[in-house]
Structure 1
Amino acid sequence: MNPPVVYAVQSLRSSRNGSGMASKTRRKSKNHDTFKSNLSSGSFAISPNFLGRDSRLPAFLIVGLAALALMPRIQTNDTLIWSFVAAAVFLGLWLAFLLSRGQAERDTYSFDIALRPQHYIQACVQFSVYAYWGYHWELIPGSGLRPVYDHALLMLGQIIFAYAFGILLSWSRHQKYILGFGPIPIIFSVNLFLWFRDDWFYMQFLMIALGFMGKEYIRWNREGRSMHIFNPSAFALGLFSLVLILTNTTHLTWGQEIASTLTLAPNIYTFLFLIGLVVMYFFSITLVAGMAAISLFVLSTLYSSFAGVPYFLDSEIPAAVFLGLHLLVTDPSTSPRTALGKLIFGVFYGCGVFVLYTLLGALGAPTFYDKLLCVPILNLSVIAIDKIVRSVQSENVLNVWKQNWMSGRANLAHMIAWVVIFGSMSVLGKTDGQHTGDSLPFWQQACVEG
C-alpha cells in the first residue's frame, strides 16, 4: 500500500478510536454525574433505556408476594393460596403494562426516599400492641395457639402488597413514589381493628387497595398544599365496615374477636396509655386523644348515674375504643392543626362513638364498629374546624404560653394534665380495675329491679 495511503488509513483509525473513546468517556462522565446528582438529592430516577432493570424493586416485591403462597401457613387454605397468587398476578400485569408504556412513551419513573418519624414511630408503637395483646390471646388457654401471631405472615403479605400497589399507583399517575415506612403503619392500623378470615382473605387485599386509592385520589388543598383528606386506614375501615353492616356479613371477619380480646392482656388500659404518651410527645396529638377519652368518660358516667347501669356494659370506655382514640383518629395529617381545633376534634370523636354505639345496637348491628365509622366523617370536618377556630382567634384559649410554643411546652402541659386525668380514672377503678358490669350479681339485681 502506498505510504501516504497507509498513513491516512492509520490516521482515520486513530481518529475514530479517539473520538469513540472520548464519546464513551463523556457518556460515562455524564452517567456518573447524573448518579451523583440523584444520590445527593435522595431521588433515584429510572432511565427509560434501563427501565426493565431498574423496575426490579416492584418486581422483587411481586415475586416475594407470590413466594409467600408456598409458605405452610398459606398452604393450609386454598382461598389463601389463590388470594396471594391472584394479587401477585394482578400486580405483575400492572407492572408489565407500565414497562410497555414507558418504552413507548419514553416515560420515566422515580423514587424519592423519605423516612418520616410519624411513620416509623407509629409502626413501632403499633407493633408493641400486637406483641403484647397477641401473646395473651390464645384460642384455647395453654394451647399456644395465638391468632395474632398466626396472622403475622398474612400481615407481611399485606405490607408487600401495599408497597407494590403504592409504587405502581404513583407511577401510573406519572408521579414519583415516596419510598419510606409509610405503608407499614397503614397495614398495622387496619389489622388492629379488622381482618378477614382465611376463606375470604382476598377482601383484605381489596381493603388495602381501597385505602391507598383514597389517599391518592381523594385530596384537597390545605394551607396551600395538596393533601389527602382521609386517614388511609380509617377510610378503608369505615367503608368496609359500612358494607359489612349493610350486608350482615361481619362473621366473615375477626372484627368481633379483635374488639373483645384486647382485655385478655393484663392492664391493657395502662399499656395503651403508656404507648400513647409516645405518640403524644412526638406528634402533639394529646388534645385529640385526651378529649376523646374525657368526653366518653363523662358521657358514660352521666348515663350510669341516670340509668343505674353502665353504658358500655363492662367498661367506662371499651379497650378497643381506647386503642382507637390513641392510634386511629390521631393521624396528624388528617386532624386539625390548631389547639382548640384538636380539642373539638377529640370531643366530636368521643361523642360520635357514644352515639354510634346506641345507634348500632338499636339496628341490631355489632357495636364494635362505633370507633371506625365516624373517623372518615370527622376527617371531612378538619378544614372547617380550623377555619372557625382561626376566625375567632381562639388559639390562646388553651395555651398560657406563646403560640409558637405549641409543639413544645404547651403539649407537655397537656400531657401532664392527661396523666393526672388517667391516673384519677385508674384510682377510681374506671380503667383496669374490676368494673361494675363485670359482676353477674349486679346484673341479676338490675334485672330484678327492672
Structure 2
Amino acid sequence: MTLTDAAVRPGSGPRLVGGFDVEQVRRDFPVLARTVHGDRPLVYLDSAATSQKPLAVLDAERTYYELHNANVHRGIHVLAEEATGLYEASRDKVAAFIGAGDRREVVFTKNSSEALNLVAYAMSNAGAAGAEAERFRVGPGDEIVVTEMEHHSNLVPWQMLARRTGATLRWIGLTDDGRLDLSNLDSIITERAKVVAFVHQSNILGTINPVAQVVARAREVGALTVLDGSQSVPHNPVDVTELGVDFLAFTGHKMCAPTGVGVLWGRYELLGVMPPFLGGGEMIELVTMEGSTYAAPPHRFEAGTPMIAQVVGLGAAVDYLTALGMPAVAEHEHAVTAYALDAFAEVPGLRIIGPPAADARGGAISFVLHEDDGRPIHPHDVGQILDERGIAVRVGHHCARPVCLRFGVPATTRASFHLYTTTGEVDALVEGLHGVRRFFLR
C-alpha cells in the first residue's frame, strides 16, 4: 500500500511506514477507538498540545498506586524502597533516551515550563550565590537572546528575568516561510549575551531549527544555551551530546507519558554550581536556623515530594517509544506530514503558516482557511465545525502569539500528528475542511 492508497477513515493508511504497524500501535491507545458526538469516530489531530497514552503507561501508573505507593528516598520500609527504585529507574531510562552521559544530569519537573523557569530563576538567584555561580549572573549591560517563534514558556520567563535584572532582551526574527532569519546572527548574539534560549521544533510553525549553527555562535561569545525540546524529543531521536547545548527542557505529556511530569537536562558541571530554584525538603544537605546548604544535583532541584507516579509513567513511555524506535517514529511522522502538506495544497483558500515543504519541519501544521471571496474564516469556526465531524484540532495562537503577529493573523487552526496518526485521518481532515468552506458559501 502506498501513501496515496488510504481510504477516508481514521484507522486507514499505510501499515508499515517507518518500520512499525500503525494499526497495531493504535490498538495500544484505548481513546483512539472511541466515538464522539454520537457515532462519529474520533480523529485526534491535537498531539502537539498533548499526546494520547498507551496501555503500558496507564498500567504502570496504576500498578504503582496499587502495589508500591510510598514517598521516595528517605523511607526504609519495603514500599518506600520499591517506590524509590521505580522513580530512579525512570531517571536512568530518560538519561539513556536522550544520550545523557550522567544520570545526575536529569532533573524531574512538572513540565517544560517549570524546567525553563528553573533555569531563569536560578540565574536570578545567582546574584546572592557564591563565586561559583558567576556564569549565571545577569545584570544591566547583559543580553538575553530568544527567537520570535518561541512558545510563551520559553519567552515569558526570559522577559521576566530581563525585568528583574536589568538585562536586555533580544531576539532572532523569522523569514516569510517560517524559519529563523540567521542572516544577522552575529549581530544578534554578541559578546554581551549571557544566555541564548531557543526552540528545537516550533509548536506552531513545525520548523526544525539548525541547532548547531546557533550553538556555535553562542559558544563563540561564551553564552549559555537553553533548548526547548518539547516538540522534538517526543518525535525524533535526540542526543544531548550531539546537540551540544547546555540545557534541554521537555515534557512527558507530549511523549505518551502522564501529565504533570517534565525534564530539565543540564550539563553536570553547570548544575553543580547553579543556585536552586525552590527550597524545602529533598533539596537540602544541612539545615540550621542560621542557614542551609544544598544537596548535589539532581536532588538540589527537586524540592518536596515529587510526582512519583507520573515519573514512573514517564519511564514506561520511554520504554514504549524505545521499543518502537525513535528513528521509526520520526520516519512515520515525516511521511504523514509530507502527505498532509500535499493534501492541503488541494484545498482552495488554505494558507499554511510555516514551511510549506516537509524538509526540516515536524508534524504540526498551522493554517488559515479563506472563503471564495478571500475573507478568512475564523479558526474557532473551523475548529467547531470540524469537531462536529469528530475531528479534534487546535485553534488560537498556540501560546506563540508573536508568530501570529509576525504573519498578520489573529489565530490559526493547527493539525498535529504523532506516531499513531494515519493518512486516513489526514483525508478525513481534508474532507472536513472542504465541508467548512461549503458551510461558508455565500
* Structure 1 or 2: more helix by fraction: 1
Please say which structure displays the higher CA radius of gyration: 1
**TM-score normalised to structure 2 length:** 0.22
Flag the structure with more relative contact order, 1 or 2, with Cα contacts below 8 A and sequence separation at least 6.
2
Query: TM-score if structure 1 supplies the norm length?
Result: 0.22
